[in-house]
């Protein structure tokens, strides 16, 4: 499936941004322009079932296949958050970027035993609920969250959680790879950090930031990317 999305900048070096579940390219509203200001052409996609992209069957491998079909191979950098990190890891050998950043990737969904209802029930969240869960967010982030929830197909949750949840921790990095973990509520446990380091990944943590690192602590997230962008 060819994915929808948007671009920022027009540089020769390409960065691809892949969002997490319930979101779409709009989650990168600060990240995209910031990377474009560094001379990149930035491509933000909407995974299937999210944003303006099509609907259909859902599964981790399908999300990955769509990336391969949509984005250019050989990008300078690919950044995948959460579900996006999972999809990127399953597509990375075919995408062949120079390097990858996995932001709190959803690699241990089997171990975490996350049920679809956790996501499905949140689709109708009120503004007050979003603010309460994310007190550090800018108003624009809250606006984006509410808009992306309404543009999201809840059936996507059944493709990677519940009965279809599985651990998909990469054996090692196919290209130079940075894992950025959240300081709180992370999908990357301390034990997994140690394991990933042993497997050859570079691992950094944004202290105090929650799962949506780039929205919880934008400056901290970019500091964690030092030397990778």
What percent of the chain is predicted at pLDDT more than 90? 96
Give the pLDDT score at 198: 98
Q: Does any domain span residue 181?
A: yes
Whole-angstrom distance, CA of residue 156 vs CA of residue 43:
22
CATH number at residue 76: 3.40.50.1820
Q: Does any domain span residue 164?
A: yes
Give the pLDDT score at 56: 96
Say how far residue 72 (Cα) sits from the centre of its chain.
18
Give the pLDDT score at 185: 86
Q: Does any domain span residue 133?
A: yes
User: Tens of pLDDT along 15-35?
Assistant: 999 999 999 999 999 999 999
Query: Which residue range(s) make up the domain with 171?
Result: 5-224
Tell me the whole-structure pTM to 2 decimals: 0.97
Whole-angstrom distance, CA of residue 83 vs CA of residue 89:
10
User: Tens of pLDDT along 54-69?
Assistant: 999 999 999 999 999 9
Domains in the chain, number = 1
Q: Does any domain span residue 229?
A: no
Q: Does any domain span residue 163?
A: yes
State phi, psi for 55 to the nearest 5 degrees: -105, 170
Give the pLDDT score at 113: 85
Print the SS3 string covering the chain: CCCCEEEECCCCEEEEEECCCCCCHHHHCCHHHHHHCCCEEEEEECCCCCCCCCCCCCCHHHHHHHHHHHCCCCCCEEEEECHHHHHHHHHHHHHCCCCEEEECCCCEHHHHCCCCHHHHCCCCCCHHHHHHHCCCCCHHHHHHHHHHHHCCCHHHHHHCCHHHCCECCCCCCCCCEEEEEECCCCCCCHHHHHHHHHHCCEEEEECCCCCCHHHHCHHHHHHHCCCCC
Q: Does any domain span residue 128?
A: yes
Angle in degrees, CA 102, 70, 40, rounded to 5: 60
Mean pLDDT of 146-152: 98
What percent of the chain is predicted at pLDDT more than 70? 100
Give the pLDDT score at 81: 98
Give the pLDDT score at 51: 98
Which neighbouring-strand residues pair with 7? 43
Dihedral-angle region of residue 73 (phi above 0 means left; psi in -120 to 50 means alpha; beta otherwise)? beta
Nearest CA among 92, 146, 86 for reference residue 122: 146
Q: Residue 76's pLDDT band (boundaries 50, 70, 90)?
A: very high
């Amino acid at each position: 499936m060819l994915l929808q999305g948007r671009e920022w900048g027009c540089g020769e070096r390409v960065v691809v941004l892949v969002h997490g579940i319930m979101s779409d390219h709009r989650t990168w509203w600060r990240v995209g322009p910031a990377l474009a200001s560094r001379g990149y052409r930035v491509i933000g996609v909407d995974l299937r079932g999210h944003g303006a992209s099509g609907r259909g069957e859902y599964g981790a491998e399908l999300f990955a296949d769509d990336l391969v079909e949509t984005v250019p191979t050989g990008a300078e950098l690919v950044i995948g958050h959460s579900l996006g990190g999972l999809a990127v890891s399953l597509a990375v050998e075919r995408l062949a970027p120079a390097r990858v950043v996995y932001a709190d990737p959803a690699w241990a969904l089997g171990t975490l035993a996350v049920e679809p209802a956790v996501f499905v029930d949140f689709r109708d969240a009120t503004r007050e609920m979003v603010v309460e869960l994310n007190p550090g967010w800018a108003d624009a982030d809250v606006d984006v969250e509410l808009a992306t929830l309404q543009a999201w197909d809840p059936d996507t949750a059944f493709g990677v959680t519940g009965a279809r949840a599985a651990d998909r921790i990469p054996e090692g990095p196919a290209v130079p790879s940075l894992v950025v973990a959240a300081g709180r509520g992370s999908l990357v446990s301390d034990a997994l950090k140690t394991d990933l380091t042993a497997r050859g990944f570079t691992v950094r943590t944004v202290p105090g930031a929650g799962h949506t690192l780039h929205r919880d602590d934008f400056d901290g997230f970019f500091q964690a990317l030092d030397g990778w962008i």
